[in-house]
Every structure is written in structure tokens, then in C-alpha cells.
Structure 1
């Protein structure tokens, strides 16, 4: 879905300009996204398999919930909206714990360049996996895996064809932040 987003400079500062998401990707303009990583008290992490119709990384496993921050929208409101849309879960802003902002540039092809600042949040998943409702158009599947397995598979990038190729340092920071809360 195309939507109006705010454009940033390469340092993450607002430029005062807006554009459609498709144009920002075509032109390689920086913009903001939210990443919400859900974990369980017994040390598992919720992963989302991207939908088969996605432009980038179809069917690869990725962050629990992610999406673009709409023009004029706060990152917290965006996070709550994306969680509701993608996994059918209503959470409150106080359940979100921001852990950082991560700059990411991924050139998929000449006319599709993701230049993003990911605002990453953690949130404890307190309901069973089977109570989540995945957004059919965006999400192929959801699963919980142990943090140990997730660490092994992403830190060494042993499964390059299984996960979205975020920087290893990004995965390392997420895993470390979750471990600190267990």
C-alpha cells in the first residue's frame, strides 16, 4: 500500500518534505520505519514470514512487525497501528520499549532503494501465538523460536536465504536487548 511519508536527510533530520512511499523508494530518499520485536518471558522471539507478494524479500523471515511511519504520525502511533494491522493485537503505548534507531540502506534494484531509519521497539508477547491474526496481504506466517536459535541463525548469517539480510550488528543489538529483559 502506498502512503504519504516524511522525508529525512541522511542524518535522520526532518527536511519538511513529504512524498509517497513508492517515490521515496524509487529516489532513494531517507524516511522512517518502526520495527517491533515481540518476545516471550520464556525466551522466544516472534518472527514474521513476509508475504509472497512483497516487493522485497518475499517469504523471508523478519521482525515481528514492521512498517512505515506515515507523514505527521508519531513513531508510537505508527507502531501501535502496525501491530494491530499485521498481527491483530491491540497493545498500549506503555507496553512499547524503544531500544534504538538504526540506519539502513538496501539497494534492491535501480528503481527500489530502501533508505530508512528503523525505530526499534521491544514488547513482551503475553498471549499464545494462535491468538494472533496475521494480515493476509502482508504476512505469510508467524512463528516463535528460541532466542538461542535466532542468535545462531542471524549472528553468523548461517541462513542467508532464510532471513531478511539486516546488518549482523542490528540482529546482535536486538538479541542483546531481549536477553537483558529475560
Structure 2
């Protein structure tokens, strides 16, 4: 599990930084979604196998599936945003889902934290990365919604998200021992 967190964190940071250097390409976002979704599926499986991590399984599985669907959609339809109607629909779907996933993750983690009050600190410490990653995900959706509409500016929002999300995963992976961590 720790290795998956570290790998997924490093991948997100490299993707975020790579966005600044790579030429503009819709396929880049598609590949990001697919690769990060596969890494998320691996993490979901690891959480399911862990006694302490089963509470996170469905949140991580949902996150992974959403990333796979959006990534696959972009790869199969690279010009999805070129048509005004489909571009607006797809962007609205991405914004809505990322905000909803972020809010759901925060609520779920805080409810879990309230139930864990009497448990050892080692199991309680796994809640903060879920909250941080969920807030980051919701802010990404809000950044896409309220930020500038140009593709260059959206790349910067995606870059900041990738680096921030990756750092959260890296810190969670470094802090986790062999126990459960977060998505």
C-alpha cells in the first residue's frame, strides 16, 4: 500500500510539472486519467485487503473509476471539447463530479474520524490525508468552474492540482508504515 501511495503521488507530481513543459494535447489529460485511475484501482484493492483500510475502499474505488471513465473518454474522443455543446457538457460533468467527489470524501472522512475517537492514534491518523486529498479534488473542480476559460489557464489549474494532490499522497505514503493510508 505504501508503495502505491508513493508511486501515485510521484506520478501526480510529475504529471503536474510535465503539464507546464508538454505541448498542448488533449490526449495528455486522457493518459493522466487512465494511468492515475489504474493506480487508484490498485490502491483500492490494497485497501480492501487491509482490515484497517476497508472503510476507504469504496471512496478510492469511486475515485479510480471516475478517473478511468474521464481519461478513457478523452482518449477515445480527443476532440471532445472542440464542439461547443459537447465541450460544455463534458466540462460541466468534470467540474460537477470533482466537486462532488471532494465534498463526499471530506464528509466521509470526518464521519469516520468521529467514530474513531476511542481508537488508537495510528488508525486515526489516516483520516487527514483523505480530507486533504478530498479538499484538493473539490478545489480543482471549483478552479475549473471559476477560473479563466482558456485552455492555457486550465492547464495551470491542472498543474497545481497534480502537484498538490501528489504531495498529499507522497506525505501519506511516507507517514504510513505498513498499515492503511488514503487515496
> TM-score surpassing 0.5?
no
Shorter-chain TM-score tier = under 0.3
Q: Which structure's residues are more often helix, by fraction?
A: 2
